[in-house]
Amino acid sequence: MKIKLLFLVTEDWYFWSHRLPIARAARDAGMEVYVMTRVNQHADAIREEGFRLIPWKGIAPGSVNPFRELRALGEVVKKYRSIRPDLVHHVHNKPILYGGLAARWCRIPALNTVAGLGHVFADKSLRMRALQRVLLVLFRFALKGSDRSLVAFQNSDDFEYFLDKQIILPNKSLLIRGSGVDLDKFSATPIPSSTPIVMLASRLLWKKGVREFVSAAEAVKRQRIDARFVLVGDPDPNNPTSVPESLLEKWHNDGVIEWWGRKTEMAKVLSQATIICLPSTYREGVPMVLIEAASCCRPIVTTDIAGCRDIVQDGENGILVPPGDTEALVKAVCELLGDRRLQEQMGKRGRQIVAERFSEKYVISETSAAYQQLVPHCPALISNALSQVT
């Protein structure tokens, strides 16, 4: 019989952008793959891959309503009991909490991937601090007490944080950095010789540093430095820190920045950039766009925070600046804009770092080892991505 592997993720777009290579590798290895998620825009694409799609109807991004969250948990428990997967893979906070509890009750082996702690753990308000304490208790119950689970972290900061809070056991935890990038698809491309483009590509949230990016664009323009500042992505109405679309349109119409909207062919988009900028102010996992940008040989300016500093080595493949420090951000961007040789050196080094630590092959191999530790008869997963690095 085929081994049943079930992915539990909050959003179908997140599964498609971050977990698809692993799911494909599992399918190609002979496993039966299920995807339980909030269905929005990728239902047909997921089914066309041969995966069994299970709508997670009760999940609501950003909700803290206890009754609604209990319904979402109950839905997961019901599906786990009816499907009886041999292995479940939970990604991000709510899937880890609800899936972890359901897997523990149903005695199903589980890999729990902590892909950043998000805005809740970055917010210092009294309300969020209270919520953090509740979440830590739930994380501890969902993760620490199970002998059939492993916890994978995308960055070392979150790993150390969970250890310090005694949420996990060292022998049940591991680091699998990022979600993996196809080195062939995101290939090394030359930096354009036309007017430099400084690009922020992300969900357009305040906590991604959009305000700081726009302020930097204004400052650089006041210095009469020839450069275009581009935002790529859309707001997220389900996130409380989403940037209003009306404000994005105003900035665009006023010529402060260019707003290109959401793009799907990110390799092509990144190849148009000179510098990739992500002045994020909250706990990331390892931002996919930074891995992709480094793979394309683009220098990076980002903040010295969890996740971002895992991909950017300050002074080697990019520049790290303090979060919220617009002056330091402007200085870093201007330093790179004024030095073509430095751009190319950092871009080349970034490609090397991705090949060593963040390639699709690496992430699939490490995930496969975790699956086999949880289910010894699980088949090995093999990436179809090319191995040659240039």
DSSP states along 111-174? EEEE---BGGGT--SHHHHHHHHHHHHHHHHHHTT-SSEEEEESSHHHHHHHHHTT-S-GGGEE
User: 98 and 171 share a domain?
Assistant: yes
* CB of 201 closer than 8 Å to CB of 232: yes
User: 209 and 154 share a domain?
Assistant: no
The tens place of each residue's pLDDT in the chain, 390 residues long, gives 899 999 999 999 999 999 999 999 999 999 999 999 999 889 999 999 999 999 999 887 767 678 888 999 999 999 999 999 999 999 988 999 999 999 999 999 999 999 877 666 666 677 777 878 888 888 888 887 667 899 999 988 889 988 988 888 888 999 998 888 999 999 999 999 999 999 999 999 999 999 999 999 999 999 999 999 999 999 988 788 899 999 999 999 999 999 999 998 999 999 999 999 999 998 788 899 999 999 999 999 999 998 899 999 999 999 999 999 999 999 999 999 999 999 999 999 999 999 998 999 999 999 999 999 999 999 999 877 654 444
Residue 320 CB: number of other CB atoms within 10 A?
A: 19
- C-alpha 385/C-alpha 372 separation (Å) is 21
User: 290 and 149 share a domain?
Assistant: no
User: 171 and 264 share a domain?
Assistant: no
Tell me if 390 is assigned to some domain.
no
Tell me if 190 is assigned to some domain.
no
Tell me if 103 is assigned to some domain.
yes
User: 169 and 265 share a domain?
Assistant: no
Here the tokens at position 339 are: 């030095």
Q: CATH code at 167?
A: 3.40.50.2000
User: 165 and 211 share a domain?
Assistant: no
Q: Which of 316, 319, 265 is nearest to 292 (CA)?
A: 265
In sequence order, which ranges of 271-319 are alpha helices (DSSP H)? 288-295, 308-311
* CB of 339 closer than 8 Å to CB of 328: no
Tell me if 114 is assigned to some domain.
yes
- C-alpha 8/C-alpha 94 separation (Å) is 9
Q: Which of 31, 55, 60, 61 is nearest to 43 (CA)?
A: 55
Specify the number of domains making up the chain.
2
Tell me if 147 is assigned to some domain.
yes
User: 214 and 169 share a domain?
Assistant: no
- C-alpha 102/C-alpha 314 separation (Å) is 41
* CB of 370 closer than 8 Å to CB of 176: yes
In sequence order, which ranges of 195-244 are alpha helices (DSSP H)? 210-222
User: 269 and 173 share a domain?
Assistant: no
Tell me if 386 is assigned to some domain.
no
Tell me if 129 is assigned to some domain.
yes
User: 364 and 318 share a domain?
Assistant: no
User: 121 and 243 share a domain?
Assistant: no
* Domain interval for residue 304: 197-356
Q: Roughly what angle, to the nearest 10 degrees, separates helices 360-374 and 20-28?
A: 60
User: 86 and 153 share a domain?
Assistant: yes
Here the tokens at position 284 are: 């990331």
pLDDT at 141: 81
Residue 74 CB: number of other CB atoms within 10 A?
A: 13
| Strand ranges, E, within the chain | 4-11, 32-38, 52-55, 87-91, 110-114, 149-153, 173-175, 197-201, 228-232, 258-261, 275-278, 300-303, 318-321
User: 161 and 208 share a domain?
Assistant: no
- C-alpha 370/C-alpha 173 separation (Å) is 10
DSSP SS3 for 10: strand
Tell me if 184 is assigned to some domain.
no
- The DSSP call for residue 208 is G
CA atoms 36, 37, 42, 43: torsion sign: positive
